[in-house]
Amino acid sequence: MTPLFLLSRLKLWRCTRVGQRVEVLGSIYVIGGGHIEIGDDVILDGRLVPIELHAEPGAELIIGHGCVLEGGVSIEAQKRVEIGPGSRLRAFCKLMDNNFHPVLGSRHRRPPSHPVKLEAAVEVGERAIVLPGAWLEKKVTLGPGVVIARRVKAGATVLVPIARSAPAPSEVEPEGAVNKAPVKTRVLRPAARTVVQPPVVAS
């Protein structure tokens, strides 16, 4: 066993089971005291920003064989989060099986957890958020910035709508400006004319 794998095992001292040839680059933040299982050949690349693995006591967090997790990835398990083999989680994406606060009623009461399941070879884009109850079947791809909380059929690609340009707010013409063209004083909020669409699912 090379020093890199030994150091990786040391960094993962709070995990319940760590597979063979697991590489931890940079730092990783493992908290909670729950059951955390990491499969063989997993790469945890926390060089940019630390990776967070959080499993509460009694919860299960399972990372399958050959997964790659990039910097800033945060996984929070209150009940069960499962990541299938060969999946790739890109930078700053977030997986959680609990909302931690209910929208209605007392915000201090923790709502029930809904397990999150990612099947084999799923790719989660940068800054994407996988919310409680999400079930991504085989080879699903989530684009950057997608927020999802439902089941997605195998092989589908989920993308957010393409960014559209909005008119910029008008600026006050400075005194003594050379340009004497009439200035339009119409003020428009950048988002006022943007049509909002729900996330597009393209299979």
Q: Which residues lie near other proteins (CB under 8 A)? A: 11, 14, 27-33, 49-52, 57, 72, 74, 92, 94, 96, 99, 101-105, 107, 111-112, 114, 127, 129, 131-133, 145, 147, 149, 160, 189-192, 194, 196, 198
Position 42, amino acid: V
In the complex, minimum distance from the CB of residue 46 to other proteins, in angstroms, rounded to a whole number: 8
Please, which residue, 113 or 121, has the CB nearer to other proteins? 113
Looking at beta carbons only, is 95 or 121 nearer to other proteins? 95
Task: Give me the least distance between CB of 109 and other proteins, in Å please.
Answer: 9
The smaller minimum CB distance to other proteins, of residues 103 and 178, is found at: 103
Min dist. Cβ of residue 164 to other proteins (A): 10
Is the separation of the CB atoms in 61 and 44 below 8 Å?
no
d(CA 170, CA 172): 7
Shortest distance in whole angstroms from residue 165 CB to other proteins? 13
CA–CA separation, 39 vs 37, rounded Å?
A: 7
Q: Residue 4 phi/psi, 5° resolution? A: -60, -45
The Cα–Cα gap between 39 and 21 comes to 9
Q: What angle do CA 83, 81, 54 make, to 5 degrees?
A: 110
Q: Can you tell me the distance from the alpha carbon of 186 to that of 65, in angstroms, rounded to the nearest whole number?
A: 57
Nearer to other proteins, 20 or 27 (CB): 27
Q: How far is the CB of 130 from other proteins (least distance, A)?
A: 10
The angle subtended at Cα 38 by Cα 131 and Cα 125, nearest 5°, is 40
Q: Which is nearer to other proteins, 85 or 144 (CB)?
A: 144
